[in-house]
Amino acid sequence: MIDDQEINEGSVDRREETVITRHPGYIATEQVVRDVAAERRMGWFQFNRIMWSMLAFLEILLAFRVVLRMMAANPNSGFAVLIYGITGLFVGPFNGLIGTPTSGGSSLEVTTLIAMAVYAMIFWGVAYVIRLVVDRPGIRSFTRSTSEQTPGGDGSVRTTHTTISNNKL
């Protein structure tokens, strides 16, 4: 049986809830502190993971482009056409920046390597700004207090307190 339930909103980022349960000879108090900011940060964390996954995928495609050019792969094969077509959009702004050294049929696309570095720095900068805006320290704790009275009237009370905290949210 729950006699009393109080909700205390100490601040915007933290909500406390206290539940007191009373039975004959037994009283239990549970206090749960919820970090609302940490729950909001989880959405940004998912966005951050998706963003870094997109960067990894782009970097892999650009690395394939560099390797195919270095190996002098047939530019008319299906795989080469696919890779050059997808990555051409991302390498386009860097074309003509510096010359491409060639030897025989192979070439080293330095502009693609520069593009890989620039995109990595852009993604890192965006992730850093998001982390600065969103990341605030938070903690979640759960406290349970139990008071037991011995039946029969001698009046002795035994109280137990248990607190679980996690500051890794």
Q: What fold does the segment set 2-37+139-166 form as a domain?
A: Nuclear Transport Factor 2; Chain: A, (3.10.450)
Domain limits, the chain:
2-37+139-166, 39-134
Residue 60 pLDDT = 96
What string of pLDDT tens digits covers the 169 residues of the chain?
444 444 444 345 667 777 777 777 677 777 777 777 677 777 778 888 899 999 999 999 999 999 999 998 888 889 999 999 999 999 999 888 887 787 777 888 899 999 999 999 999 999 888 888 776 655 555 566 666 655 555 556 666 666 666 554 3
Q: Could you tell me which of 144, 148, 164 has the C-alpha nearest to residue 156?
A: 148
The tokens describing 140, both together, are: 């979640």
pTM for the model stands at 0.60
Beta pairing partners, 40: none
